[in-house]
Amino acid sequence: MKIKCLCGNILNDETLKTTNPLMIFSEKDYYDVLESNPKTAEELVDKMPSGSIWECRVCGRLHYFKEGKLDIYKLEKEVFDNS
């Protein structure tokens, strides 16, 4: 699958030069998998909850594939805590 970022970059999870695919899942889903006590790494991978975010390598926007729809996030500004 390919999608066009608002900056014009073409995102494709098989083209790591333009796209940084990330996995995302809730802590609860993650701990549920660990508590099911998978015996092998393969079993762990099979049970992992899957959700994905593609980061645009040009502008940094995050494209979150969320339950059948696509949410797009862009960093508004850098925030530093100098306290």
Q: Does residue 5 bind Zn ion (CB under 5 A)?
A: yes
Choose, by CB under 5 A, the member of 2, 7, 22, 29 that binds Zn ion. Answer: 7
Q: Does residue 44 bind Zn ion (CB under 5 A)?
A: no
Q: Does residue 18 bind Zn ion (CB under 5 A)?
A: no
Specify the 3-state DSSP secondary structure of 42. helix
Q: Does residue 58 bind Zn ion (CB under 5 A)?
A: yes
**Residue 7: CB minimum distance to Zn ion, A:** 3
Q: Which residues pair with 72 in a beta bridge?
A: 63
